[in-house]
Structure 1
């Protein structure tokens, strides 16, 4: 069991670590390269064989970065997308055998039975066009809020597809297993339900559920060495979480939380621990609004190997987390000086960190060593 229970002394230590930042007198080990700007609230990216990078814009456009430039033409063949509130065209994931089958997976918000909800679809990508598009998942019931669509996608090392759905801003939905909201879901690559999903034998549960009690997870990754699925989720006012995702677990929202309502009132039972509900590996108070999560394993930054990187929307920085035995022992804030919302972070095929800023004139950034002179 990977979970780590927070004792009071450790909580105080971690909260102090959350406020740590780079000593301005120390030389930075990295430089920031702006690969392009001109993106409208980008949300996700995918690295294709051959060097292309696909980038989603929340408004519903799929952009192409190629040979150092952002192309004017967008990818055609997308289904109808309904940008509303926090929703639109969101995450991207490549099939593990993308080089052979060309399946590109994407999450988006569209109308369903009169309201908006999270969808996951796939299509074959070739020459700036999607074909054979098919919808694999629709979060039901749809809702009339524009909040908390979740929408991160990852494939694990066995080829299963994981996707997140937020609570849609309606807290009790995250504890209702007859409702797709507020959890992590697991599918086969073609959308079928795996026979060994944790609740597949229960008639009162949506069989795609893998975990529940998740408020709004917008960062998820598979650790390349251990295969463990890690996830970050937004808390309310405080209480953002870093979790290890394990089959059947209840992560407690909204019954337990380290946050409070935006009004200052308590949430749920007003407690942080309860039997049968998981504790986070790490939490943030105040909230950083985490979106995007990567584990760094490249050679360009040897001192960062094994570190976790989390985008911060609210406090506008990139968080570097140092973990030992699945405990966060150090946190450093990068890119604070840019004053930009960090939406996504990935390790690229070049072993460098690639970052998207969630702005009306958003940027694709790359971190490379301070001494690196590559073009």
Structure 2
């Protein structure tokens, strides 16, 4: 390996067989295996692991696929979703009180062929239907469908919801705090801005903003023990990053060494003159990848299945088609391990479920769901 410093699903299901072979991982601390669980996902984007070993996979093309007990079923009832460019159905997550409330939250591109916005909605699963669907939030500025819609969801321990919104292919928007693009937002379960948000009362800031200066955050996780918020983002400039998110702070995208073709000469002039921010204003990354990996998916590891990985981070790569384990000492990255000796395809999402196992969603046209288990 390369080193760098409870409810029952009431569905009539269609049987599915995960035909790919298991993949053995001889990692630094233990031998693991990636066990195929399900296949056939069309452009998968997000994974929600629900109680009772029910898994929901969001597909960019506008479907949710439910997987339970080796069987798979499409869920109907989603709102209108615009699937242009990188937009479409994005992330999916169950609410912390899901066993009682049944709420499922999902992000998607709302709008039409002319203009879209990244939006948040929720609904309840009833058989093979999503019911009680309601849109909770939409970013404040629609724009032409293009890359970097986002989005990722992560719950904080106070039951507020973090939601990332990409820069929509216009990097300068990430420095406009009157624009939701290029930000991580913090919302109530009803999609509103909590009054204790870090910039809630500050002039010139949208009240939902938790942090800004982001390119395309496709991995977002909260450490359940420390409360630390971690994110990985693709910046498209050769400097993809792992970030320890600081509430109410600027995380620097786009940076001053980007080319004019990326961000525009006028914006760079403002940046160079200090009219936008100075280096001292920017939160530096916890880790900067040495090459473009397009990180996607992020989990804080816990549980008995991975005794030597407690508190570490597991991150996927879209372009690199790799899994990375970040070893931490507190919040400092002390090592990075590449786990895969062979490509499985672009890694879309990494989540840890209530059963204690890590799950990895991989692929594009024929996506696969794997479970990471100790080798017996």
2:21 maps to which residue?
Answer: none
Change (3 A) 1:203 1:53: same
Tell me which moved more, 311-320 or 334-343: 334-343
Q: Aligned partners of 2:26 and 2:159: how far apart in 1?
A: 43
Aligned length: 351
1:4 maps to which residue?
Answer: none
Alpha-carbon displacement from aligned partner over 1:308-359 (angstroms, at most 9, x marks no partner): 0001011111111101131111111122403411010011222121000132
* Aligned partner of residue 280 in structure 2, secondary structure: coil
**Contact kept in structure 2, 1:17 and 1:329, CA below 8 Å:** no
Give 1:199 shift.
2.2
| Aligned-CA RMSD value | 2.8
Are positions 1:217 and 2:220 aligned together? no
TM-score by length of 2: 0.86
**Contact kept in structure 1, 2:25 and 2:32, CA below 8 Å:** no
Are positions 1:140 and 2:155 aligned together? no
Superposition map of 1:31-50 within 5 A:
31-50=33-52
1:61 maps to which residue?
Answer: 63
Give 1:239 shift.
1.2
2:239 maps to which residue?
Answer: 239
* Aligned partner of residue 44 in structure 1, secondary structure: strand
**Contact kept in structure 1, 2:150 and 2:164, CA below 8 Å:** yes
Change (3 A) 1:103 1:23: closer
1:126 maps to which residue?
Answer: 126
**Contact kept in structure 2, 1:45 and 1:56, CA below 8 Å:** yes
Q: Aligned partners of 1:161 and 1:24: how far apart in 2?
A: 36
Q: Aligned partners of 1:246 and 1:220: how far apart in 2?
A: 13
Superposition map of 1:267-278 within 5 A:
268=268, 274-278=279-283
Give 1:285 shift.
2.2
1:294 maps to which residue?
Answer: 299
2:72 maps to which residue?
Answer: 70
1:12 maps to which residue?
Answer: none
Change (3 A) 1:99 1:16: closer
Are positions 1:283 and 2:252 aligned together? no
Among 9, 17, 20, the alignment partner of 2:4 is: 17
Mark the runs of 5 or more structure 1 residues left unpaired by the alignment: 1-14
Give 1:201 shift.
1.9
Give 1:232 shift.
0.9
* Aligned partner of residue 151 in structure 2, secondary structure: coil
